[in-house]
Structure 1
Amino acid sequence: MSSASASASATATLPSTAQLRAQHGVSTTVVRQAILVLQTQGWVQGVHGLGVFVADH
């Protein structure tokens, strides 16, 4: 995560899985695993149907 992303507000959303996959040239599985790690560490919060949001730190 870049320093700009780390300092984003709590309402900032991550790009879609498809956008992240295309941007980084990785599979959907890799993107989902990375998001899961970020959720586990408290960096992001997933809201079903709305997206993944940067957590308030």
Structure 2
Amino acid sequence: MATEGYCVKCKAKQMMKDEKEVTMKGKGGVERGAMTGSCPSCGTKMFRILGKKK
């Protein structure tokens, strides 16, 4: 599954490499889903916050 995220080092949207789904702590103790991976051009760690599950 190819996920697009924003790389702050390249200042551009890139397709994540080696992405996986993780959970992060949100406000009020709610867990939020996110995708984490690395930028294919510079190798910086990237995140994309996912929407709430219905």
| Bin for the TM-score computed over the shorter chain | under 0.3
Q: TM-score, normalized by length of structure 2? A: 0.24
Q: TM-score, normalized by length of structure 1? A: 0.24
The structure carrying a bigger strand percent of its residues is 2
The structure carrying a bigger helix percent of its residues is 1
